[in-house]
Structure 1
C-alpha cells in the first residue's frame, strides 16, 4: 500500500468522523436551547397567543394526517411492517393531538383539559414508533396489507381521547403527576427506539433521520416537563418537537417518492457507494463475459484433441495469408500431411494410443515450425501447415526435415514403442488462379501421389516454365 493510498484512507476516516460529529451536534442541539431558556427565563415570562397556537396545532395535525396517508401508501406497496406502525404513530398523534388545538381557548377555564392532550399524543406516538423499530425488517405479503388494523387503532385512539378528557375533568387526581409521567415514559420510548437501532446496527439514510428525530422528540418531552403553559420553555418544546417532526416527514416523503421502503432509501454517499459497487460488479461481469467469449472463440477455432487450428479456422487463416502474399508479392507454401497406416495403430494399440500419437506429432511439428507458420488439423489424421514468405525450395527443406524428424521419433504407450511415418504434399500458392480450395486440392493430390509412391516421402509441386 503506497503513501498516497494511506493518506487517502486517513482523510476519509477524518471526514467520516467529522460527519458523525456534525450529526451528533445536530441531534443534541436542542439541549443547548433548553438549558439556555431554562437559565435565562422564568415561568413568569409568558407569551400567550391563542390564535397562533391554534394555527400551529392545525398545521401539525394536517401534516400528520398527510404523513399517515403517505406512509400507508408505502406500507401497501412494500408490506414493510415497520411502516404500518409508523402509520399508527402519525395517525394516533393526529387524533389525540387535535383536541389540544381545539381546546386552546378553554385553557383559562380548565388548563388540564387543554394541556393533557399534548403529553397523551406524544406518549401514543412514542409507543407506536418504538414498536415500529422493533418490527424493523419484518415483511408481509401485499395482499395482507388491509385496513382492518387501522380502523381498530382509530377506535383505540378515540377511547384514549375520552380517557384523557375524563382525567382532565377529575378533581381528585394529581394531574401534574400524570402529565410528567406521560412525558417521561415518552422520553424513555423515544430513546429506546434509538438504542434499539444502535444495538441492532440498523444503518441507512432514513434510519439516520429517524434516530435524530427520535432524539429531538425525547428532548421536546423533557423540555415540556421543565416548562409551564405559555412560558418560553413550553414554546421551545413545541419548536423542538416540530423540528423532529419535519425531519422525520422529510424521510417518509423521500421514501414515498422513491422506493416506498424505509430500508432502501439511500443518501448521496450511500448511492455513490452503491454505484461504485455496481460498477465493479458490471466490470467484473464484463471481464468474465469477455473471457468466456474468448474461450468460446478459441474452442470454435481449435481442434479439441490437439489444440491446433481446426479445419474452418485453418481455411480462414489461409485466405488471410493468401491476401497478404498477393498484396506483398511474397511466396506462400502449404504442406498437407497424413500419417502412414494410422488405422493400424488404432487397431493394434487402441484409439487412446492413436490420440497420443497425434498429440506427439503436433509437439514435434512445433519444434520444427517458425512462430509465423500455422498448423491445422483438417481431417482425422490429416494436417496442414502454412509457410508464409517461404519459396518452394525452402518449404521443401522444412517438409523433408519434418518427415525425417517424425520417422526418427516414437511414442511409448503401455511400455510399447510406436513408430510413425508421414507422407507430405507441398504446393506453392498461385495468386492468379488459386482459391484456398484449389490450392488445398493441389496439395492434397500431391499427398496422395506420395502415398502411391510408397509412403514416408515428400511430393513437391512441379512448377511449369512460363511460355514465350
Structure 2
C-alpha cells in the first residue's frame, strides 16, 4: 500500500490515461502478475529455511514504515493541501504508528492488539475519505474532494463564459458584415431599406420632415477604364469617407450600387437636404485623390426628395430622387436637383439655376 501511494503521489496532477489505455488486458495482466510474484516471493521466504517468520515480519513492517514516512515527507514538501490528500496524510501517519507498534509488540500482547486497533482506525479514516469523494463524483476513477469539484466547476464556467464572449463577438461581427458594404464599410442596400422604413414610420407618427438623397459619381466608368478597378475601389473609399465627413450623426449613408449611393436625412426638409447635398457636391468637387503617383478627381450628381410632397413611402421617395438625379446628369452633371431649384457647379462656386426638367435618361 505504501509503495502504491508513492507511485500515486508521483502521478498527482498528471492527466489520466485515456479509457482505452486503461482497459488494455496487458496493463491489468502486468499488475496481477506483479502482485502474485510478490506474494509468492514472500511465501517462499516465510516457508524457507533462510529467514524466520519473526524476522520476515519485522522486515516487512520496517519496509512499510519507510514507505509510509516517505509518502508523508513528499506530501509535506510539495505542500499538497487537497482535502482527500490530507486524509491520506493522516491515514499514512496512523499506519506508520501501527507498523511501529507491530515491530515492538509480542504476539497476543496488549500492544499487539493495540497495533491492530491503530491500523483499523487508519483504514476507517482512509475509507471515509474515499467514500466521501465517491459520493461527490459518483466515480472511483475521478475521486476528488468537494473543493476540487467546485474548482473544476469554476474553471469550466470560466471557459464557458469565455466561449460565450467569443461567440457574441463573432455574432456581432457577422451582424455588422451583413449590414454593411464590403468595400466602403457604409450601410448596404438591405440595411438602408430596413432603417429607412423605420425612420419613415417615425416621421409619419410625429409628423416630422424626412428627406432622401440619391447620388451617383459622374463618369466613374472612365476611372475604372483608365486607372483600373483597384484604383476605382480606392476612389470609392475616399469618396465615401468624404461624404461621411459632411453628414450629421443621425444621417445614414448607404452604397446601393457600383458607384451609386443614397443618404437618408431624418428631421430634414427639402431645403436642409439641398444644403447637405451641396456640401457633399462641393467637397467631392475639391477632392484630389492621390494614388500611385496619380491624381484622380471625381464629381457627383445628386437628386433630393422629401416625404410628403414627393411621396409617403420609401419606394416613392427613391423613384423621385432617382428621377431628379437623372435630371442633374442631363443638365451637365456635378449639380444638385431638388425639384424647386438646381444647384450647379461653375468653377469653384455653387449657384442656383432653376433649369429645365429632363425627360430622358442620359448615360451616367
Q: Which moved more, 1:158-167 or 1:398-407?
A: 158-167
Match of 2:171 among 268, 272, 293: 293
Q: Distance in 2 between matches of 1:150 and 1:391?
A: 90
Does the residue aligned with 1:385 lie in a helix, a strand or coil? strand
- Would the alpha carbon gap of residues 302 and 194 (structure 1) be closer, same or farther in structure 2, given more than 3 Å must change? same
* Match status 1:340 vs 2:225: no
Deviations 1:43-89, CA, capped at 9 Å, x for gaps: xxxxxxxxxxxxxxxxxxxxxxxxxxxxxxxxxxxxxxxxxxxxxxx
2:214–2:304: 8 Å Cα contact kept in structure 1?
A: yes
| TM-score, normalised with respect to structure 2 | 0.79
Tell me the equivalent position of 1:304. Answer: 182
Q: Which moved more, 1:308-317 or 1:392-401?
A: 392-401
- Would the alpha carbon gap of residues 458 and 130 (structure 1) be closer, same or farther in structure 2, given more than 3 Å must change? closer
| Residues 86-105 of structure 1 aligned to structure 2 (within 5 Å) | none
| Residues 4-153 of structure 1 aligned to structure 2 (within 5 Å) | 125-130=1-6, 139=17, 141-145=21-25, 148=29, 152=33
Q: Distance in 2 between matches of 1:410 and 1:249?
A: 85
| Residues 307-322 of structure 1 aligned to structure 2 (within 5 Å) | 307-322=185-200
- How far 1:395 moved relative to its partner? 1.1
2:223–2:232: 8 Å Cα contact kept in structure 1?
A: yes
- How far 1:301 moved relative to its partner? 0.8
- How far 1:376 moved relative to its partner? 0.8
- How far 1:370 moved relative to its partner? 1.0
Q: Which has the higher strand share?
A: 2
- Would the alpha carbon gap of residues 174 and 415 (structure 1) be closer, same or farther in structure 2, given more than 3 Å must change? closer
2:98–2:118: 8 Å Cα contact kept in structure 1?
A: yes
Tell me the equivalent position of 2:283. Answer: 405
2:46–2:52: 8 Å Cα contact kept in structure 1?
A: no
2:254–2:261: 8 Å Cα contact kept in structure 1?
A: yes
- Would the alpha carbon gap of residues 393 and 205 (structure 1) be closer, same or farther in structure 2, given more than 3 Å must change? same
Q: Give the aligned CA root-mean-square deviation in angstroms.
A: 3.2
Match of 2:270 among 389, 392, 407: 392
Gaps of 5+ in 1: 1-124, 464-468
* Match status 1:449 vs 2:327: yes
- Would the alpha carbon gap of residues 372 and 128 (structure 1) be closer, same or farther in structure 2, given more than 3 Å must change? closer
- How far 1:223 moved relative to its partner? 2.0
Q: Distance in 1 between matches of 2:33 and 2:171?
A: 61
- How far 1:207 moved relative to its partner? 4.0
- Would the alpha carbon gap of residues 328 and 128 (structure 1) be closer, same or farther in structure 2, given more than 3 Å must change? closer
- How far 1:313 moved relative to its partner? 0.7
* Match status 1:429 vs 2:307: yes
| TM-score, normalised with respect to structure 1 | 0.63
Does the residue aligned with 1:308 lie in a helix, a strand or coil? coil
| Residues 79-228 of structure 1 aligned to structure 2 (within 5 Å) | 125-130=1-6, 139=17, 141-145=21-25, 148=29, 152=33, 156=37, 159=40, 163=44, 166=47, 175-196=53-74, 204-228=82-106
2:133–2:144: 8 Å Cα contact kept in structure 1?
A: no
- How far 1:256 moved relative to its partner? 5.3
Tell me the equivalent position of 1:415. Answer: 293
Does the residue aligned with 2:262 lie in a helix, a strand or coil? strand
Does the residue aligned with 1:141 lie in a helix, a strand or coil? helix
Gaps of 5+ in 2: 342-364
Tell me the equivalent position of 1:329. Answer: 207
